[in-house]
């Protein structure tokens, strides 16, 4: 990589690698971002907020100056089957006076006002940066408020500076455990489960709930998509936990195993293969023969209906290349497979908060020459998107305009997704979305208008990419054999 | 979703519900983007910077880049000095901007970092500039942050060269869209006014698609131009909340005479802006601008009956609201409620004076309030139209009232970056939007027998 030195800052060398199966490679991850870099990462508060916010009938109070509440007001995109309370923004809007004299009085008033007005089932209080510094005793206030109002008031320790987004996930898990309480349920409900790490974006959790109910299994709660306080409390009586978003929920699953004796399994409902494998895993773990039968019927029906339609899209997509830059590793792993099913090869994969194990998986799942990045920035993304010749970027809010400026199509697999992308239905939606963006005529318009006769320089860049291609051929690997996760 | 908004308005003491403002740093970041080759730097936790970039990206649909001091527990205990020093070093080394504009956050302000001192003790590479603004999130609002960063540009950059003859006019556009900044420049150019405008985000956050990503787009006011602002004859500051501080700073530091004016939104405010430029620079009204004005008046005559007497509730940022309230009154509409989340008693006085002059005894103006209050008041006293940013859509839907999107942020529609609301062209666009919103609503909801082809 001849240009590597100018594009990648010295301190980031270890967070970038080009997949070489002959070598024993490891990426540096789980590090703090260095001061002064343009990182795509967020903070502890952000992590806690995204995990807890979908709990529908709770009031979520952001304790701090207004910004943290403003930027997270109804951006989660998770749907509710009942209360819409979680989509309302509540905060204490701390002012100068409160910073000097403390924000406790305001917080107490805010809890009172919210409980009287909205009668929520519970209240979550998110501590932001300054609260961690001015020393408000949020815990004591929450305790008093519980006694006064007779509902759970749960502090979330999410001061932004106290770690990374991942620590925020953990803080959220602690809040959920706090809600569930220490007591164990000895007799578990047979054939029941909790679905951890789905946030019901665009109704995704409902699709999975529908499958499980068709099979005859009982889904106690989703954590936290469309979850209610009561459903979360009932979660302790489930026979098993299944974990999708491993980055945010593995901790909770482990704790629940330890505290309540509930074993857990990793599953993923993105893509038809993953969906079938995951359902099978669940059915074989908690179902009876009858359940297995129903599972087989369901899968046969769905597959017969959706697979040909997905295949039809494959013909329009085969040979395209994709760059992935997402929050956590589990999603990237799913996406690599899902794209491969559509004939699309992953040439770049990166995450904000992926773990060592996940990066190792990327190396296994992707071909030789695939660029692997941890906690990257726009400059690196631009460089590698161009170098790998990716046609599609998958990312979040901040990456979208970057892709567009480069004339590269884009898929939001984050809060802003508008169609469910999980299960059989989601696999089709996904194919449709990929087709809609990558095959849009707009990309030709971006590239064709050259009024000042730039053909010369264009041919130069072309030859460069050709060379780059020669140097690092990408192999297509058969994921059905190598990528088996289950 | 807000069908449940209950109860009569009662002042709350602790709780903000659905804010009508956000925090200072994001305004500072937006202002800083209006400097050529400037990288905004957020001195605080990583999340702040991430949120600001995300929000700005959603509004402008262009890549927004900024760096952060990435505070950790350690920084909170020992101060953020080493983070900022190391941060600046990295920023210049890796991203090579001409300028770094540092804004503080609630965290760095609360732990008491002296950003000025830290920068002073940092080796800034030759030919590069570092400016900073104190932007505590717990004071003012995003508008205050914008204003503070504009002021910082003057404080750290503008100079008066002694013995040199003053010339040209400074224009401070205020917290408006890139399209508006472009239109302000177009008007000044048509009037043959030699001017410096800062900040100028018009070719920074509304860049053309070329198939290439440019971390520092061509636009933005250069440091040289901001320096020269100290030698201008006068400063025309548009929007007192976002521009007045910088204009007064220029007066204090460089003796440049300040003129604080409304944002040139609506016909009267645009007239005043143009007259002020002509008064300061001499010359005559440009024929094409006069033509545009004539067209605007013509349309106002054509459609006045459609909006006359309609009740409108407005929310958003003070500078936009002051000009818009004047304009809707000029259109014969009744602004029953004008609300901002930003603090500032002058705002109340100014709007109240307009109400008084128009004989609007029932109308209300509020500061430091939120959208829950706005909704409660609309429920108590219904309106025909809401004018405000994207967050108004919940209320518009709940009350089945049309919404004209104006102000910041607009997260669900396009156009604001390209079509101005300032100037005569902008006024025409506002009328088009208001009329279309009212008539579309009528078409969708009227009785079959009232449904008409020609309106």
Specify burial of residue B89 (Cβ count, 10 A radius: 0-12, 13-18, 19+): middle
Which of A302, A333, A358 lies at the terminal end of a domain, its last residue? A302
State pLDDT tens for residues A319-329.
Answer: 999 999 988 78
Confidence of residue A3 (pLDDT cuts 50, 70, 90): very low
Residue A482: per-residue pLDDT: 34
Residues A112 and A198 in one domain: no
Q: Is residue A423 part of a domain?
A: no
CB-facing half-sphere around the CA of A354: CA atoms within 13 A: 29
For residues A355 and A465, membership in a common domain is answered with yes
Q: Which of B72, B90, B141 has its CB closest to that of A161?
A: B72
Chain A contact present for B8, CB below 8 A: no
At which of A302, A333, A356 does a domain end? A302
Quickly list DSSP for A458-478: HHHHHHHHHHHHHHSPPPP--
Residues A348 and A403 in one domain: yes
Whether residue B420 is predicted with pLDDT greater than 70 in this model: the reply is yes
Q: Are B19 and B386 in contact (CB under 8 A)?
A: no
| pTM (predicted TM-score) | 0.93
Among B209, B63, B206, B60, CA closest to A445:
B209
Same domain, yes or no: A70 and A146: yes
A131 and A266: one domain? no
Average pLDDT, whole number, for chain A?
88
Structure confidence by residue, pLDDT tens digits, B433-454: 999 999 999 999 999 999 999 9
Task: Report the CATH number that the domain containing residue A101 is assigned in CATH.
Answer: 3.40.50.1980
Q: Tell me if A307 is assigned to some domain.
A: no
- Based on the fold, state whether residues A82 and A225 are members of the same structural domain: no
- In the prediction, which pLDDT does A397 show? 82
Tens of pLDDT, residues A425-459: 999 999 999 999 999 999 988 877 667 655 444 44
Residue A89 to residue B17, Cβ atoms within 8 A = yes
Beta strands A16-18 and A371-374 are: antiparallel
Are A20 and A57 members of one domain? no
Q: Mutate which of A66, A85, A415 to test chain B, going by most B C-beta atoms within 10 A?
A: A66
How many Å lie between the alpha carbon of A416 and the closest alpha carbon of chain B?
Answer: 11
Identify the band that residue A29 occupies on the pLDDT scale cut at 50, 70 and 90: confident
The reply to whether residue B45 touches residue A40, judged by beta carbons under 8 angstroms, is: no
pLDDT at B367 over 80: yes
Instruction: Tell me whether the CATH fold assigned to B169-285 matches the one assigned to B288-450.
Output: yes
- CATH 3.40.50.1980, domain B288-450, yes or no: yes
User: A160 lies in a domain?
Assistant: yes
In a domain, A338, yes or no: yes
DSSP string, A409-436: EEEE-STT--S--SHHHHHHHHHHHHHH
Confidence of residue B211 (pLDDT cuts 50, 70, 90): confident
Q: Identify the pLDDT of residue A453.
A: 58
- pLDDT above 80: residue B120: yes
Any idea which of A85-94, A142-151, A401-410, B69-78 has the lowest mean pLDDT? B69-78
Q: Does B11 reach chain A within 8 Å, measured CB to CB?
A: no
Q: How far is A446 from chain B (nearest CA, A)?
A: 6
CA distance A464 to A189: 62
Residue A167 falls inside a structural domain: yes
Q: Which residues pair with B423 in a beta bridge?
A: none
The mean per-residue pLDDT over the stretch A17-46 comes to 82
Taking an 8 Å cut-off on Cβ atoms, the answer to whether A35 and B69 are in contact is yes
Question: Picking from A1-5, A94-98, A145-149, B303-307, which range would have the lowest pLDDT averaged per residue?
Answer: A1-5
Determine the residue among A105, A161, A167, A377 to mutate to test chain B binding: the one whose Cβ has the most chain B Cβ atoms within 10 Å: A161
The verdict on A411 and A347 lying in the same domain is yes
Residue A404 lies in a domain: yes
Q: Which of A278, A302, A326 is the C-terminal boundary of a domain? A: A302
Residues of B in contact with A41 (CB under 8 A): 46, 50
Domain that holds residue A157: 44-180
Q: Which residues, in sequence order, are CB contacts of B281 under 8 Å at separation 6+? A: B169, B191, B192, B193, B194
A74: left (phi over 0), alpha (psi -120 to 50) or beta: left
B64 min Cα distance to partner chain A (Å) = 8
Q: A190 with A239: CB under 8 angstroms?
A: yes
Q: Are residue A91 and residue A239 in the same domain, yes or no?
A: no
Q: What strand order describes the sheet that includes A371-374? A: A16-18, A371-374, A345-351, A321-326, A392-395, A409-412
Query: Would residue A326 count as lying in a domain?
Result: yes
Q: Output the CA torsion sign for B63, B64, B65, B70.
A: negative
Mean pLDDT of B147-160: 98
Please say if the pLDDT value at position A460 is more than 80: no
Q: Is residue A409 part of a domain?
A: yes
CA-based nearest residue in chain A for residue B57: A398
**A144 and A290 co-located in one domain:** no
Question: In chain A, how many domains are there?
Answer: 3
Across A292-307, average pLDDT: 97
Q: Which of B383, B450, B32 is nearest to B205 (CA)?
A: B32
Instruction: State residue A483's pLDDT score.
Output: 32
Residues B144 and B27 sit within 8 Å (Cβ to Cβ): yes
- pLDDT for residue A2 is more than 50: no
- Say which of A34, A91, A110 has its CB closest to residue B90: A34
CA distance A342 to chain B (A): 26
Are A212 and A245 found together in one domain?
Answer: yes
Mean pLDDT of B137-144: 97
- When mean pLDDT is compared across A81-95, A358-372, B137-151, B274-288, the lowest value belongs to A358-372
Distance between B205 CA and the closest CA of chain A, angstroms: 11
What pLDDT is recorded for position A446? 85
**Which of the residue ranges A458-462, B6-10, B350-354 has the most confident prediction, judged by mean pLDDT?**
B350-354
Residues 125-154 of B with CB under 8 A from A: 136-139, 141
What's residue A456's pLDDT? 45
Question: Where residue B306 falls among pLDDT bands split at 50, 70, 90?
Answer: very high
Region of poorest pLDDT, from A146-155, A473-482, B414-423: A473-482
pLDDT at A470: 41
- For A108, the closest of B14, B25, B211 (CB atoms) is B14
**What ipTM does the predicted assembly reach?**
0.95
Query: Order of strands, edge to edge, in the sheet holding A122-127?
Result: A152-156, A122-127, A58-63, A90-91, B16-17
pLDDT of residue A475: 42
- The DSSP line for A146-204 is HHHHSSEEEEE---TTSS-HHHHHHHHHHHHHHHH-SPPPSSPPTTEEEEEEE--BTTH
Q: Are residues A219 and A323 in the same domain?
A: no
Residue B51 predicted with pLDDT over 90: yes
Q: CA of A313 to nearest chain B CA: how many angstroms apart? A: 26
Query: B24-156 domain in CATH 1.20.1250.20?
Result: no
Residue B240: closest CA among B104, B331, B340, B334: B340
User: Is B169-285 a domain of CATH 3.40.109.10?
Assistant: no
Q: Mutate which of B11, B38, B50 to test chain A, going by most A C-beta atoms within 10 A?
A: B50
Domain locations in chain B as residue ranges = 24-156, 169-285, 288-450
Which candidate, A360, A211, A213, A335, places its Cα nearest to that of A274? A335
């Amino acid at each position: 990589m001849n240009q590597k030195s100018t594009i990648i800052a010295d301190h980031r060398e270890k967070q970038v690698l080009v997949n070489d199966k002959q070598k024993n490679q490891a990426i540096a991850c789980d590090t703090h971002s260095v001061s002064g870099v343009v990182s795509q990462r967020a903070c502890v508060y952000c992590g806690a907020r995204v995990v807890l916010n979908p709990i529908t009938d709770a009031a979520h109070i952001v304790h701090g100056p207004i910004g943290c509440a403003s930027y997270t007001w109804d951006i989660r995109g998770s749907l509710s089957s009942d209360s819409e309370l979680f989509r309302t923004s509540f905060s204490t809007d701390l002012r100068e006076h409160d910073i000097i004299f403390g924000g406790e009085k305001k917080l107490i008033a805010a809890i009172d006002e919210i409980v009287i007005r909205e009668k929520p089932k519970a209240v979550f209080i998110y501590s932001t940066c300054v609260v961690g510094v001015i020393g408000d005793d949020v815990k004591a206030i929450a305790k008093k408020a519980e006694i006064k109002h007779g509902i759970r008031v749960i502090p979330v320790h999410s001061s932004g500076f106290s770690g990374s987004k991942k620590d925020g996930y953990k803080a959220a898990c602690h809040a959920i455990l706090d809600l569930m309480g220490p007591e164990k349920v000895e007799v578990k409900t047979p054939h029941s489960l909790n679905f951890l790490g789905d946030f019901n974006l665009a109704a995704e959790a409902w699709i999975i709930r529908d499958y499980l109910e068709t099979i005859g299994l009982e889904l106690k709660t989703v954590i936290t998509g469309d979850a209610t306080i009561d459903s979360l409390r009932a979660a302790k009586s489930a026979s098993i936990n299944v974990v999708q978003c491993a980055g945010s929920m593995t901790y909770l699953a482990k704790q629940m195993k330890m505290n309540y004796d509930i074993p857990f399994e990793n599953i993923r409902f993105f893509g038809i293969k993953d969906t079938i494998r995951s359902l099978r895993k669940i059915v074989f773990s908690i179902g009876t023969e009858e359940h297995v039968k129903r599972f087989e019927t369901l899968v046969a029906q769905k597959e017969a209906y959706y697979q040909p339609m997905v295949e039809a899209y494959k013909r329009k997509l085969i040979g395209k290349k994709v760059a992935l830059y997402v929050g956590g590793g589990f999603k990237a792993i799913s996406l690599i497979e899902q794209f491969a099913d559509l004939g699309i090869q992953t040439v770049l994969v990166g995450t904000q908060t992926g773990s060592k194990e996940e990066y190792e998986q990327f190396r296994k799942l992707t071909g030789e020459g695939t660029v692997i990045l941890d906690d990257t920035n726009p400059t690196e993304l631009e460089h590698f998107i161009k170098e790998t010749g990716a046609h599609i970027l998958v990312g979040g809010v901040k990456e979208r305009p970057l892709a567009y400026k480069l004339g590269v199509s884009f898929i939001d697999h984050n809060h802003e997704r508008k169609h469910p992308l999980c299960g059989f239905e989601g696999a089709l939606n996904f194919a449709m979305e990929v087709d809609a963006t990558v095959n849009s005529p707009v990309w030709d318009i971006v590239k064709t208008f050259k009024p000042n006769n730039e053909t010369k320089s264009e041919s130069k860049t072309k030859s460069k990419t050709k060379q780059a291609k020669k140097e690092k051929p990408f192999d297509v690997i058969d994921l059905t054999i190598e990528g088996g996760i289950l | 979703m807000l069908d449940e908004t209950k109860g009569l308005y009662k002042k709350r003491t602790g709780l903000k519900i659905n804010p009508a403002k956000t925090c200072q740093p994001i305004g500072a970041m937006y202002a800083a983007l209006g400097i050529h080759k400037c990288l905004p730097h957020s001195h605080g936790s990583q999340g702040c910077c991430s949120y600001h970039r995300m929000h700005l990206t959603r509004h402008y649909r262009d890549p927004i880049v900024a760096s952060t001091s990435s505070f950790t527990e350690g920084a909170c205990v020992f101060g953020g000095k080493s983070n900022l020093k190391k941060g600046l070093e990295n920023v210049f080394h890796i991203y090579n901007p001409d300028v770094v504009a540092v804004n503080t956050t609630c965290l760095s302000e609360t732990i008491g970092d002296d950003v000025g001192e830290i920068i002073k003790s940092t080796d800034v590479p030759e030919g590069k500039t570092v400016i900073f603004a104190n932007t505590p999130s717990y004071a003012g609002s995003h508008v205050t942050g914008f204003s503070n960063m504009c002021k910082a540009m003057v404080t750290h950059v503008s100079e008066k060269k002694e013995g040199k003859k003053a010339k040209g006019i400074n224009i401070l556009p205020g917290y408006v869209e890139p399209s508006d900044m472009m239109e302000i420049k177009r008007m000044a150019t048509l009037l043959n006014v030699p001017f410096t405008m800062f900040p100028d985000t018009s070719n920074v956050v509304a860049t053309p698609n070329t198939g290439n990503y440019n971390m520092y787009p061509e636009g933005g006011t250069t440091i040289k131009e901001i320096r020269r602002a100290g030698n201008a004859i006068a400063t025309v500051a548009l929007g007192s909340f976002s521009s007045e501080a910088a204009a007064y700073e220029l007066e204090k530091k460089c003796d440049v005479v300040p003129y604080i004016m409304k944002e040139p939104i609506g016909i009267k405010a645009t007239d005043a802006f143009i007259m002020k430029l002509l008064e300061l620079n001499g010359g005559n009204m440009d024929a094409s601008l006069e033509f545009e004005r004539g067209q605007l008046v013509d349309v106002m005559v054509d459609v006045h009956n459609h909006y006359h007497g309609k009740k409108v509730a407005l929310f958003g940022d003070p500078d936009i609201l002051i000009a818009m309230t004047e304009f809707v009154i000029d259109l014969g509409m009744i602004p029953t409620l004008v609300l901002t989340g930003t603090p500032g008693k002058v705002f109340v006085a100014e709007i109240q004076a307009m109400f008084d002059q128009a004989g609007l005894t029932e109308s209300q103006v509020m500061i430091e309030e939120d959208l829950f209050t706005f909704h409660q008041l609309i429920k108590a006293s219904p309106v025909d139209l809401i004018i405000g940013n994207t967050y108004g859509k919940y209320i518009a839907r709940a009350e089945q009232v049309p919404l004209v999107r104006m102000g910041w942020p607009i997260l669900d529609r396009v156009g604001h970056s390209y079509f101005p609301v300032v100037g005569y062209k902008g006024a025409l666009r506002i009328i088009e939007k208001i009329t279309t919103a009212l008539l579309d609503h009528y078409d969708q909801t009227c009785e079959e027998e009232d449904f008409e082809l020609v309106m």
